[in-house]
Amino acid sequence: MFPNTIILQQKTLCWLACLLACLLARLNTPPSQQHTMTRKASVTPLRFIHFNDVERVHEAKTEPVGGIARFITAINKYEDTTVLFSGDAFNPSILSSATKGHHMVPCLNAAKIEVACYGNHDFDFGEEELKKLSQECTFPWVMTNLTDSQGVPTGTAKKKHVFEKQGVRIGVMGLAEKDWIDTLSDPPEDIQYRDFIETAQEYIKILREEDECDLVIALTHMRENNDLALAKACPEIDLVLGGHDHFYRVTQLDNNIVIKSGMDFKNFSVIEVTLNGDARPSVAVERVDVTSEVEPDSDMAAYVKEADEKYATIFDKVVGYTEVEWNVHNSSVRTEENAFGNLVAGLLRARYGADLCILAGGSFRSDRVYPAGPVTARVVSTIFPFTDACVVLEVTGKTVWAALENGVSKYPQHEGRFPQVSGLRMTFDPSLPPGSRLVEVTVGEDREPLDVDKTYTLATRGYMADGHDGYTALKGSKIIVDPENGSLLSTIVVQALTKVEVIKAWKRKHMILRSAIAAFRGVRPFRPKKKEEQPKALPESLCGAAAKDPSCIVVRPQLDGRICIVGVTPPPLQGSPPRAHKAKRAHEPTRGQDQDGTADDGDACNDGDDEEAAAKLPKTAIA
């Protein structure tokens, strides 16, 4: 064989081998990478600032103190930057409960944001309110995988945002996870969710090929595990900038990077990206903490001061009416069943469709009695000043029992751990040792005995779920609704008082007819009655005021005997005289039966089983 022929055959084999290697490489390449485009190389790094989850404008008491005024000073130190935001600004906060998030718009606009994605709490006041808030912003919002049935993104969002910086085309998509969509208090009608990885793979191709973007960024509002899953499945996304998690963390992967930038104007990231042609961009990240050493921006500090003064009057706005007084004295909420405690626990349980609710009596502050009549946002915020969100846990009956044992362990001391409850009834004996005081616990409208092996959903405060106030039994429980998806207790109460349609939506959403009806017996739309039917506790002048404001509702919290204390005469139920109280012990027959199983006329506690007393009770007790 001639030498030239041998060389030719070798070249042919090498060419075929290269072709085969290319084909195999393409077959093994994820769909998001099966398109090519020559990237530009940037001489000067592109600089971005990223932040997320900024519900509160005021400074904290501990470092980094944050606060919008110092935050603006801090980000303005960096020149020629592009600011990106990953959602959650309009709620939850005490101010938001009065302003519906509108006080946050000037704060976001002052940050000179290029584009932002929605977070779950941005939907807290409904889609129509979100549209108003978005339209007041000087920047666009993106939400790529949340649309209506026609494919139109929620709120005023776009599916993508493309802009140019230093001659580099940059494409941004906005992605949400399904978990928090299921927790929205007032979700958009006909909301459609599409898997975030599937959506991202489609929009990578659109941004790369159709829009000829050199850099692709995903703004997300998802848990870190989902951000990491996104980054690994879609390596052609250059930056995954996430919200929803309230911590700071940077995770460098093989092909891209995931960045979480803290919370509440306390932290942000400065990101410098250098394009290297078709090679992966080089990314450098600097964490910046907004400490008390940063001077407040004078204009924003003036705005916060002005807002405090302005919204102080808004806090005096009437949000609802009560036909009876609200007793929030520590001596009541921390030692016995409390009518207002019944109302609030019922609202919280119904808000999330939970089986049970336990609220520590220390959740109720102000230690005073509020008279019957109008209720203002200031009153609600004074009673519930805490900023920890409510949560829903999946717990066993054994855990519920242990939590209730803790709640009554310090009785008769005025300890904050004493429980106010909904969805259950309990009897305890203070003469027994702490930890062994419970006599009986029943659950549901049918008052079935608490099953220690059964699983229940429990609504409570995040503070208690973390094991505080002695509620260590709850710590480590499976979380169904976490703090980032939960709302403030003050917000839940205000929304329940001001938005009748939300109450109706809750009833439709949970589809638990009996429990929903029971849960809202104490909450009803105000309707003018005939003069002779006007409740004595509600002045005639108040009736006129309520009638002019149909958006508000009237509540009548009351006692129903859900907490019984052995040896203690309970407060009288509305419409029934006080009676001596003697509870049965756990080994005795169940309530309503004698030793022989016949009906027992002597009721163990004022739980409403007495037909005569029940007949006198108005059907408005919150469950």
In total, how many domains does the chain have?
Answer: 2
Average pLDDT estimate for 546-564: 71
Same domain, 294 and 353: no
Same structural domain for residues 162 and 246?
A: yes
Residue 19 domain-assigned (yes or no): no
- pLDDT tens-digit map of 564-593: 999 988 766 653 333 333 333 333 333 333
pLDDT value of position 510: 37
Q: CA 319 to CA 465: how far, in whole Å?
A: 29
Confidence of residue 18 (pLDDT cuts 50, 70, 90): low
Mean pLDDT over 231-255 rounds to: 96
How many CB atoms within 10 Å of residue 151?
9
pLDDT score, position 554: 74
pLDDT of residue 585: 35
Q: Is residue 329 part of a domain?
A: yes
Q: What is the pLDDT of residues 337-351, one digit of tens each?
A: 999 999 999 999 999
Domain boundary among 256, 279, 310: 310
pTM to 2 decimals? 0.65
pLDDT at 500 > cutoff 50: no
| Least confident window among 79-83, 309-313, 411-415, 532-536 | 532-536
In this predicted structure, the answer to whether residue 530 has a pLDDT above a threshold of 60 is no
Q: Are residues 214 and 131 in the same domain?
A: yes
Other C-beta atoms closer than 10 Å to the C-beta of 45 total: 16
Going by pLDDT thresholds of 50, 70 and 90, the confidence category of residue 294 is very high
The candidate with the shortest Cα–Cα distance to 182, out of 60, 405, 353, 382, is 353
User: Does the structure show a pLDDT above 80 at 418?
Assistant: yes
pLDDT at res. 38: 61
Mean pLDDT, rounded, for 63-70: 97
Q: Residue 3 domain-assigned?
A: no
CATH number at residue 278: 3.60.21.10
Place of tokens 């409960």: 97
Our CA dihedral for 494, 499, 505, 506, rounded to 10 degrees, sits at 20
Neighbouring C-beta atoms of residue 414, cutoff 10 Å: 17
Q: Please, which pLDDT band fits residue 301 given cuts at 50, 70 and 90? A: very high
Task: Indicate if 202 and 298 belong to the same structural domain.
Answer: yes
> Which string of DSSP letters, residue by residue, matches 29-47?
S-GGGSS--PPPB-SSPEE
Check which CATH number belongs to the domain holding 342 and give it: 3.90.780.10
Q: What's the pLDDT at 586?
A: 34
Question: Could you tell me if 261 and 244 lie in one domain?
Answer: yes
By the 10 Å C-beta count (0-12 exposed, 13-18 middle, 19+ buried), 221 is classed as buried
- pLDDT given for residue 86 in this prediction: 98
Range from 307-316, 467-476, 603-612 carrying the lowest mean pLDDT: 603-612
Domain final residue pick, 310, 325, 340: 310
Do 300 and 359 share a domain, yes or no? no
125: CB partners within 8 A, 6+ apart: 90, 91, 100, 101, 186
> Is 253 contained in some domain?
yes
Closest alpha carbon to 256 in 239, 243, 244, 271: 239
Confidence (pLDDT) at 345: 96
pLDDT band at 388 (very low <50, low <70, confident <90, very high): confident
Confidence of residue 352 (pLDDT cuts 50, 70, 90): very high
In a domain, 443, yes or no: yes
pLDDT at 302 over 90: yes
126 and 249 belong to one structural domain: yes
Answer for the pair 217, 194: CB distance below 8 angstroms, yes or no.
no
Q: 291: how many CB neighbours lie within 10 A of its CB?
A: 13
What pLDDT does residue 367 have?
85
Q: Is the pLDDT of residue 237 over 50?
A: yes
- What pLDDT is attached to residue 33? 44
One domain for residues 202 and 280: yes
Alpha-carbon distance of 187 to 505, in angstroms, equals: 10
pLDDT at 20: 56
Q: Is it the case that residue 2 has pLDDT exceeding 70?
A: no
Q: Looking at residue 607, what is its pLDDT?
A: 34
For residue 604, pLDDT beyond 90: no
Average pLDDT of every residue of the chain: 81
Q: What is the reported pLDDT for 504? A: 35
The answer to whether position 7 is within a domain reads: no
**Domain end point (choices 260, 276, 310):** 310
Tell me which amino acid residue 143 is. M
Rounded to the nearest 10 degrees, how much is the dihedral formed by the CA atoms of 405, 407, 410, 415? 170
Q: Are residues 304 and 330 in the same domain?
A: no
Give percent of the chain above pLDDT 90.
58
Which of the two residues, 610 and 348, has the higher pLDDT score?
348
DSSP string, 569-611: PPPPPTTS------PPPTTSPPTTB-TTS-B-SS-SS-SS--H
Q: Which of 18-32, 384-398, 424-438, 515-529 has the lowest mean pLDDT?
A: 515-529
Identify whether residues 243 and 347 lie together within a single domain. no
Q: 250-255, long-range: CB within 8 Å, 24+ apart, which pairs?
A: 250/285, 250/287, 251/224, 253/228, 255/231, 255/280
> Looking at the domain assignment, is residue 10 inside a domain?
no
If asked whether residues 376 and 238 sit together in one domain, one would say no
What pLDDT does residue 621 have? Answer: 31
Q: How confident is the model at residue 606 (pLDDT cuts 50, 70, 90)?
A: very low
Range 161-166 average pLDDT:
97
* Domain housing 475: 316-616
Are residues 373 and 471 both part of a single domain?
yes
What pLDDT, on a 0 to 100 scale, did the predictor assign at position 443?
Answer: 97
3-state SS class at 86: coil
**Mean of the pLDDT values across residues 609-616?**
30
Residue 72 lies in a domain: yes
